[in-house]
């Protein structure tokens, strides 16, 4: 470890710089919870706003939205994933998109 003028190691200084750089671009929602209960959170706007889309989740949402066409007969979907991967959150967002008045 090398020392810098601030008394911190070079890696600590770079880490601090990196955190300040990202903190200007990334905003973490206070009170963020990873748990989603579809029945209880259906009308909870904050749960819907805290959804962080990944490329996979965007593909799923797009696929479901394309499948709602009346002529499309392939509408059933099976969503499989490990605990805590966001399956319920994706469903919550989809339900919000589909059923919002």
SS3 for the chain is CCECCCCCEHHHHHHHHHHHHHHCCCCCCCCCCCCCCHHHHCCCHHHHHCCCCCHHHHHHHHHHHHHCCCCCCCCCCCCCCCCCCCHHHHHHHHHHHHHCC
Print the domain residue range for 41: 32-99
- Provide the whole-model pTM: 0.61
- Residue 76 and residue 38 in one domain: yes
- Residue 26 and residue 37 in one domain: no
- What is residue 92's predicted lDDT score, i.e. its pLDDT? 93
- Residue 42 and residue 91 in one domain: yes
- Return the higher-pLDDT residue of 74 and 65: 65
20 vs 8: CA distance, rounded Å = 16
- Residue 12 and residue 43 in one domain: no
The 10s digit of each residue's pLDDT in 49-70 is: 888 888 999 999 998 888 887 7
- Residue 25 and residue 36 in one domain: no
15 vs 9: CA distance, rounded Å = 10
CB-based contact 48:93 (threshold 8 Å): yes
- Residue 37 and residue 81 in one domain: yes
Does residue 32 carry a pLDDT above 80? no
Mean pLDDT over 8-31 rounds to 58
- Residue 23 and residue 42 in one domain: no
- Residue 23 and residue 41 in one domain: no
User: Quick one: tokens of 17?
Assistant: 């710089």
């Amino acid at each position: 470890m090398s020392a810098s003028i601030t008394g911190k190691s070079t890696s600590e200084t770079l880490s601090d710089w990196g955190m300040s750089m990202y903190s200007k671009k990334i905003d973490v929602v206070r009170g963020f919870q990873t748990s989603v209960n579809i029945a209880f959170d259906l009308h909870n706007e904050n749960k819907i706003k805290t959804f962080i889309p990944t490329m996979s989740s965007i593909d799923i949402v797009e696929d479901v939205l394309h499948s709602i066409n009346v002529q499309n007969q392939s509408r059933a979907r099976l969503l499989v994933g490990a605990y805590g991967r966001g399956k319920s959150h994706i469903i919550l967002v989809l339900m919000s998109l589909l059923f919002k008045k």
